[in-house]
Amino acid sequence: MELMIATAIFLVICGAMFGLLQLSQQKYSSETQLSGAFQETRLAIDQIVRDFNVSGYPARSLFSALPPDSSQYTLSPVAWDPSYAVSPCFVGTAGGGTCVTPGDFDLIVETNLGNGAGVSWIRYQLINTTLYRAVVPKTAGGDPVAATSAAGAMVPFLTNVMNNPSPAQLALIVANYPGMFPGGLPQPVFKYTCDTAAGPLPCPLAGNDGIPSNIRNVDVALIVMTRQPDMQTQQPKLVELNGRGRRVNPSR
Amino acid sequence: MKSRAHFKKARCEHGAALLIAIFALLLISVVAIALIVSSGTETSLASNYRTSTSAYYASLAGLEEGRGRLLPTSLNYIPLPANPMPLTQVIYITNPAGGEVVAPDDTANPTTYPDTQYKQEFGVDVSSRIVTKYASVSPVAGLPGPVYKWVRINALTEKSLGNGVTGVDVNNDGDVDPFTPLFYDPANRTLGGAMSPGLVETPTPSATALQALEITSFSVLPNGSEKMLQYLVQPLVEFPNLTGQGFTAALTLAGNNVQYTGPGTNSFFINGQDHQCPPAVQVVTAGPMVTAIGYTVTSGSDSSSGNIAAGAVPAANYLGAPLTTGPPPGPSTGSIAFLNTMNGNWLTPTGLDAVVQDITNNADSVITGPTTPGSFPSGMSATHPMTIVVNGDLDMNGWRNTGYGLLLVTGTLHYDPDATWEGLVLVIGQGNFVSTRGGSGGIDGAVFVAKTRDTSGNLLANLGASSFSQTGPGSNVGRGINYNSCLVNSAMGPITYKVLAFKEIPLAN
Q: Where are the domains of chain A?
A: 2-246
- Cα B295 from Cα A204, distance rounded (Å): 44
Share of residues in chain A with pLDDT > 90 (%): 56
Q: Give the tens place of pLDDT for each residue, B385-411.
A: 889 999 999 999 999 999 999 999 999
Q: What is the pLDDT of residue B9?
A: 57
Range with top average pLDDT, B46-55, B131-140, B283-292? B131-140
pLDDT-above-70 percentage for chain A: 100
Banded model confidence at residue B46, pLDDT cuts 50, 70, 90 = low
Is omega for the bond preceding A250 within 30 degrees of 0, making it cis?
Answer: no
- pLDDT band (50, 70, 90) for residue B49: low
Please state the rounded mean pLDDT for residues B126-130.
Answer: 95
Q: Touching check for A58 and chain B: CB below 8 Å?
A: yes
Q: How far apart are CA A5 and CA A22, in angstroms?
A: 25
Other C-beta atoms lying within 10 Å of the C-beta of residue B3: 7
Cβ(A222)–Cβ(A44) below 8 Å: yes
Task: Please determine, for residue A69, whether its predicted confidence score (pLDDT) is greater than 60.
Answer: yes
More confident residue, B277 or B304: B304
Q: How far apart are CA B38 and CA A29, in angstroms?
A: 11
Residues 434-493 of B with CB under 8 A from A: none
Which one of A7, A66, A116 has the shortest CB-CB distance to B172? A66
* CB pair distance less than 8 Å for B501 and A62: yes
For B221-250, write each residue's pLDDT tens digit.
888 889 999 999 999 888 887 777 678 899
Q: Which class for A233: exposed (0-12), middle (13-18), buried (19 or more C-beta within 10 A)?
A: exposed
| Pairwise CA distance, residues A43 & A46, whole Å | 5
CA distances from B276 to A104, B289, B489 (A): 60, 11, 12
pLDDT on residue B286: 47
Range 32-51 of B in CB contact (< 8 A) with A: 35, 38, 42, 45-46, 49
Residue B205 has a pLDDT of 86
The answer to whether residue A52 neighbours chain B at the CB level (below 8 Å) is: no
The CA distance from B112 to B115, in Å, is 9
Q: Is residue B89 scored above 90 in pLDDT?
A: yes
Between CA B77 and CA B305 the distance in angstroms is: 43
Find residues 149-208 of chain B whose CB sits inside 8 Å of chain A. 161, 163, 165-166, 168-173, 185, 188, 190, 196-201
pLDDT digits (tens, 9 = 90+) for B112-126: 999 999 999 999 999
Would you say residue A158 has pLDDT above 90? yes
Query: Quick check: helix, strand or coil at residue B485?
Result: helix
Instruction: Return the pLDDT at B323.
Output: 58
At B441, the pLDDT band (50, 70, 90 cuts) reads: very high
Distance between CA atoms of residues B475 and B457, nearest Å: 36
- Min mean pLDDT across A189-198, B371-380, B472-481 is at B472-481
What value does the mean pLDDT take over residues A188-215?
Answer: 92
Q: By C-alpha distance, which of A60, A95, A53 is closest to A74?
A: A60
Read off the pTM. 0.79
Which of A107, A145, A110 lies closest to A126 in space, CA to CA?
A107
CA-nearest residue to B121 within chain A is: A114
Rounded Cα distance, B292 and B404, in Å? 21
CA–CA distance, B64 with B138 (Å, rounded to integer): 11
The minimal CB distance from B49 to the residues A2, A42, A248 is found for A42
Are B405 and B491 in contact, with CB atoms under 8 Å apart?
yes
Task: Provide, as residue numbers in chain A, all residues whose Cβ is less than 8 Å from the Cβ of B17.
Answer: 2, 6
Neighbours of B16 (CB within 10 A): 14
SS3 (DSSP) at B440: coil
* Chain A hits for B190, Cβ within 8 Å: 65
Average pLDDT, stretch A186-197? 92
CA distance A98 to B491: 46
Q: Rounded CA gap, A73 and A252, in Å? A: 10
**Cross-strand pairs, B200:** B183
Is pLDDT of A214 > 80?
yes
Q: How confident is the model at residue B281 (pLDDT cuts 50, 70, 90)?
A: very low
